[in-house]
Structure 1
């Protein structure tokens, strides 16, 4: 499997990584699916303490405990569940990050996290304190590297300028090309890896009925799905065409795909052997739907 270096880290990942948020509350099914993905070359498995009140981390940790040295586990912190479980509050403080990492380590059944990510961010955050927390965790050996998960250009720019993040996770697809305008080139110039999530736009590019999406009308979403379908066929499924559009973007290191079933796993991993999109095909996809701009958090 073609491997790619994640930013300035030593982590080598495949073009497709496993977004674990989509796992159902079934440990046996999760164990089988995650291990098959690992058997077939997937290296990076991403979860978060927010997902399923931490149970997602527990499932991932239990499923991968026997092959911990052969895979990379990524998780996130910053969203603190309220005591009554009614929701969560944003908390990027050092004290909370130190508390959260210990709980994640316990749930993941490991003594280190390969990639620890801040799960959001605002311009009101105590940047120096937050960055210091991640740096100290790295020095202590509790995490190997750190990054952020954010779609806010203003927050991304702050972490690029101030920190040693090796990655940024952001949403990117044919229907959400906003990162092209202000983030992808910046991250590439600074050798920061991009973990692209949402490559099929909640299924709208593949198999779900068209609805308005972000700033796109229902008609625009239909046009995008039709463009994807027109470039698919025996050699490439619609999902693979949508993923190729993302994977072939030079700034993208890996596509983080939410996988529910064995069939979806087959489809997603098949993209690595499917023919690349030609420059003309990429241009046709780009012409099918206009690229949007971030209206907030610029």
Structure 2
């Protein structure tokens, strides 16, 4: 099955999604990549208002405008860019309501399928933030909303207080923190996970080993070797790494950063590869110790 339902929404998203953050500055080249992805069945495209200082939304919107009704378009809000390029965090209702119109203009669309809070802390005015998203739903400017967060304490608050359909979080064999409590909890409440970083900056797909989070280079090498061992003849290491994240039922899609045609073809290949068996998943999990959350619990 190539598609999975996104939480309690009416959206069916491709198991592999296009993370647009890595796109370059050539509009035509970007359009070629995005159209090839759409033609292959990838239907979820993820960007953010701060990527490339707004250009990312512009190039994605320009490319997808001719096929807008055939794709699911997601973007993010909450980071305010200072003149020096650094970021300020702003989860206020006022800022969200101001920002959405700018994103809509850059994306050349009159609605956003999934509007995501691009982070979040437990000190945020969470009820006010939720009010903004709910108002935007009523106005028809967004269809659904979610958050992008790896903080269990923040995630739990949005589960209790909002109607989010998704949580984007980093998840891979080298970052198993979501398994500690978030994945099962979100699945219980029918909220989908959009997993980013499934190949761990390429470390699970052939890049030379180096330390990653709390893992040593030697542990990263063992994880990569385990991924290679389950790849066999039907999967690339990248697709095996992606399918590790997809083994949990809470995960609707692996959002893969795609920059080149080769990376795109590897992602397309992953969509048609067979899933990992329980034996293969167990082998991968035993290859290195699981990491755990130390903050924001």
TM class by shorter-chain length?
over 0.9
Counterpart mapping for 1:215-234 below 5 A: 215-234=214-233
User: Which residue does 1:123 correspond to in 2?
Assistant: 122
User: Which residue does 1:248 correspond to in 2?
Assistant: 247
User: Which residue does 1:38 correspond to in 2?
Assistant: 38
Q: How far apart in 2 are the matches of 1:197 and 1:296?
A: 20
User: Which residue does 1:69 correspond to in 2?
Assistant: 69
User: Which residue does 1:90 correspond to in 2?
Assistant: 89
Q: How far apart in 1 are the matches of 2:20 and 2:187?
A: 26
Q: How far apart in 2 are the matches of 1:218 and 1:263?
A: 26
* Deviation (angstroms), 1:3: 1.7
User: Which residue does 2:106 correspond to in 1?
Assistant: 107
Q: How far apart in 2 are the matches of 1:164 and 1:140?
A: 16
The yes-or-no answer on 1:239 pairing with 2:238 is yes
* Deviation (angstroms), 1:186: 0.5
Deviations 1:99-118 (A, max 9, x none): 11010000000111000000
Aligned length: 297
Q: How far apart in 2 are the matches of 1:178 and 1:77?
A: 24
The yes-or-no answer on 1:58 pairing with 2:61 is no
Q: How far apart in 1 are the matches of 2:263 and 2:66?
A: 24
* Deviation (angstroms), 1:2: 2.4
* Deviation (angstroms), 1:85: 3.5
* Deviation (angstroms), 1:199: 0.3
User: Which residue does 2:267 correspond to in 1?
Assistant: 268
User: Which residue does 2:14 correspond to in 1?
Assistant: 14
Q: How far apart in 2 are the matches of 1:169 and 1:290?
A: 23
User: Which residue does 1:80 correspond to in 2?
Assistant: 80
Tell me the SS of whatever aligns to 1:271: helix
Counterpart mapping for 1:129-168 below 5 A: 129-168=128-167
Q: How far apart in 2 are the matches of 1:133 and 1:274?
A: 40
Q: How far apart in 2 are the matches of 1:87 and 1:52?
A: 12
Contact 2:2–2:272 (Cα < 8 Å) also in 1 = no
* Deviation (angstroms), 1:272: 2.2
The CA RMSD over aligned residues, in Å, is: 0.9
| 4+ runs deviating over 3 angstroms | none
User: Which residue does 2:29 correspond to in 1?
Assistant: 29
User: Which residue does 1:213 correspond to in 2?
Assistant: 212
* Greater CA drift, 245-254 or 271-280: 271-280
* Deviation (angstroms), 1:152: 0.5
Q: How far apart in 1 are the matches of 2:35 and 2:242?
A: 22
* Deviation (angstroms), 1:275: 2.3
Q: How far apart in 1 are the matches of 2:275 and 2:167?
A: 24
Segments of 5+ residues of structure 2 without an aligned counterpart are none
Deviations 1:22-62 (A, max 9, x none): 11111111000001111111111000001000100000000
Tell me the SS of whatever aligns to 1:202: coil
Segments of 5+ residues of structure 1 without an aligned counterpart are none
TM-score (norm 1): 0.98
Tell me the SS of whatever aligns to 1:125: coil
Contact 2:74–2:112 (Cα < 8 Å) also in 1 = yes
Tell me the SS of whatever aligns to 1:219: helix
* Deviation (angstroms), 1:235: 1.2
User: Which residue does 1:257 correspond to in 2?
Assistant: 256
* Deviation (angstroms), 1:4: 1.1
* Deviation (angstroms), 1:264: 1.4
